[in-house]
Amino acid sequence: MTPSRTAAEAVFSALRDAGRVILATHTHPDGDAIGSLVAMRLVLERIGISSRVFIAAQDLPLPEELATYDLGEVVHEDTVDVRGRTVVFLDCGNADRTPLGEWLPEIPVLVNIDHHHDNTRFGTINLIDPTASSTAEMVWELAQMLGVPITTDIAEPLYVGLLTDTGRFSYENTTPRAHAMAADLIAAGVDLTGVRRRLYEDVRPAKLHLLRAALESMAIHGDGLLVSARVTEEDFRGAQATEAHAEGIIDVLRVVRGVRIAALARELDVQPGTFKVSLRAADPTVDVSAIARASGGGGHPQAAGFTTQLGDADLADFILGQLREQDAGGAAA
């Protein structure tokens, strides 16, 4: 199911009527979040709708590799009042993941454009396509419906969203449509070498120091079904690493032979003792988003997350218990 023309038209008539449009995404914005924001702002600009990008103060500055794109004048909670405005949320599965949570009831028109299958449809207009690889893919389709040419400046951020959300074209969401989109974007002039270097090769030593700390903590649980690792606040300090440097560690873990789930717990500097857990399914029959939801989080069947205060052993017990329930419940789980 691709977004229907009618749904897309509802989105754009809402935006056209709006005086002041704000574009927002989830907290800890990733490549798809930023890529979609950058591209959407340009697409709207091309059809005469001006918008501003909202990023929470706590998420600024953005990770270096995502900070190269033109977001225009970024606004945050101290610089803009979003009440009474039209807000477009991109790549945001539920209201809890928005940095605007407490203001949502005061936002009259809330456009929710997303590909998370468990999106809670918190918008007043919801354009949700779980078959899309990324929100970037949905923005690409909207641009085409509107007849907006995919110029290089639009193509490159969209490519970043596509590339990061498909795990460099390796996850289950790497559909023929995802590859067709890649072909279109490359034809539009994406600097593939530049993107690859910036996202994956321009690695700071801090990132490898943090990876080492994670691997030192690596443990295999449940007769090899689960691999887990943990990085503490002390590890971050020792490695001189930031949250962004933890990106990609989970992908190192998930390739272990025989493993069905990989889990990486990282301690939040704002809440010592609380860990953000990333889950990846190494087995396509596992739905890690259901496990994340059971602990108040969310995500995709193959990649999800939640926060916890559980230690290693209890966390492993929780995940393995959820996995057993899924296996017992079969497709209904």
Q: Where along the sequence are the contacts to Mn ion (CB under 5 A)?
A: 32, 91, 134-135, 165
- In angstroms, give the least distance from the CB of 143 to Mn ion: 17
Residue number, 32 or 267, with CB nearest to Mn ion: 32
- In angstroms, give the least distance from the CB of 157 to Mn ion: 13
- In angstroms, give the least distance from the CB of 292 to Mn ion: 15
Residue number, 28 or 209, with CB nearest to Mn ion: 28
- In angstroms, give the least distance from the CB of 207 to Mn ion: 22
φ, ψ at 103 (rounded to 5°): -90, -10
Residue 226 bridge partners (DSSP): 221, 261
In 3D, which of 263, 29, 303 has the Cα closest to residue 172?
A: 303
CA dihedral sign of residues 250, 226, 320, 308: negative
| Gyration radius of the chain's alpha carbons | 20
- In angstroms, give the least distance from the CB of 213 to Mn ion: 27
Residue number, 136 or 316, with CB nearest to Mn ion: 136
Residue number, 165 or 235, with CB nearest to Mn ion: 165
Residue number, 166 or 228, with CB nearest to Mn ion: 166
In 3D, which of 272, 256, 259, 266 has the Cα closest to residue 214?
A: 266
**How are strands ordered across the β-sheet holding 21-24?**
51-53, 21-24, 86-90, 109-114, 125-128
- In angstroms, give the least distance from the CB of 132 to Mn ion: 9
Q: What CA–CA distance (Å, rounded) separates 131 from 128?
A: 9
Q: What CA–CA distance (Å, rounded) separates 280 from 315?
A: 15
Residue number, 136 or 210, with CB nearest to Mn ion: 136
